[in-house]
Amino acid sequence: MGRTATLTLAAVTALAAGLVVSAPIARAEPAQLAGTLHARLGPASAGSYVDDSGQLVVTVTDATAAKAVTAAGARARVVEHSAATLDATTEVLDRTAKIPGTSWGVDPVTNQVVVSADTTVTGDALARLRNVVAGLGDTARLEQVGGSFRPTITGGDAILGGGVRCSLGFNVKTPGTSTAFLLTAGHCGNATSTWSTSGGQVIASRVGTSFPGNDYALFRYTSSINRPGSVNLYNGSQRDIARAGDPVVGQTVGRSGSTTGFHRGKVTGLNVTVNYVDGTTVTGMIGTTVCVQGGDSGGPLFADDTALGLTSGGSGDCTSGGRSFYQPVTEALRAYGVAIY
């Protein structure tokens, strides 16, 4: 994929498509219930996920918290490691294992911090990582994955700027006004100050960008081009996006991008740290099993009509599969004071 960035015309204008969506994207209600329960339970909860039947499972560390979860309509599961214990494990990794080609985040299903190493982590670096993880006992586990973790930016058509192609995430506006903007990835925003269509029309100029650390950028529309609040499903139709929210582990999500179109997968982790092979690090990411390729960066991650994230990067491709990471869209919206419409 090389050094990459992506911005789909999905929310600007329909692009040529060839992928067929055969099933709807899962709704986002479990995430809303999860957020309510986590706020109520505080440190008594060690995370949550959606099981194969679609039911929300909330992990807890005591019987009192379990009763509260059951009363709210979710399934409680008592686990050994508290949120504080897993946070402490993550802090150790942040201090001692910041190796390019690695990522880590809490897996509530196994009640562990999962540490991933891509194919670029070898020799002394891999030995060091193994040693750190071994010292964390059963609070962490190490897995090796194919490909390499890279932010996705590539040359091509679609929306162009600074010699790169990106994918538009979501169209947004300042509440109470008609001033419109587009959100995309920060590493896209770092690459150019303006975006143009494949036909050469300049449509937006940069307001702000944040990468590394975060991965979001805001561009203000400078043209009258049509900009509906929807995303391209690459089957000849679009999905209207009505709100923004946060995902839950196990949730089925969709991702749209200008290179590979629409693909689905599941959320595997929240608050994930990724050390890309180019030496940059992003934190607080959403981890998924959705495939990505160069040119998909900045594109939207969503569930039904709820905006969830902006494509940051990943490993693998849409032939062999892989992992991908997303900037939570709610953080970007708060940073710029804008809203989905």
Q: Is 240 a catalytic residue?
A: no
The answer for 8, left when phi > 0, alpha when psi is -120 to 50, beta otherwise, is beta
Rounded Cα distance between 266 and 264, Å, is 7
Q: Is 210 a catalytic residue?
A: no
Q: Please give the full DSSP string across 304-319, using - where no structure is assigned.
A: TTEEEEEEEEEEEETT
Q: Is 81 a catalytic residue?
A: no
Catalytic annotation, pick one of 81, 107, 167, 187: 187
Nearest C-alpha neighbor of 274 from the set 32, 37, 93, 88: 93
Q: What residue type is 77 in one-letter code?
A: R
Cross-strand pairs, 257: 261
Nearest C-alpha neighbor of 42 from the set 56, 58, 31: 58
Reduce the secondary structure of 292-304 to three states and give it as a string. Answer: CCCCCCCCEEEEC
Catalytic annotation, pick one of 297, 312, 315, 324: 297
What does DSSP say about strands 56-60 and 75-78: parallel, antiparallel, or unpaired? parallel
Q: What residue type is 338 in one-letter code?
A: V
Q: What residue type is 252 in one-letter code?
A: T
Catalytic annotation, pick one of 118, 215, 246, 296: 215
Backbone angles phi, psi at 110, to 5 degrees: -100, -5
Q: Please give the full DSSP string across 250-281, using - where no structure is assigned.
A: T-EEEEEETTTEEEEEEEEEEEEEEE-TTS-E
Q: Give me the active site residues, please.
A: 187, 215, 297
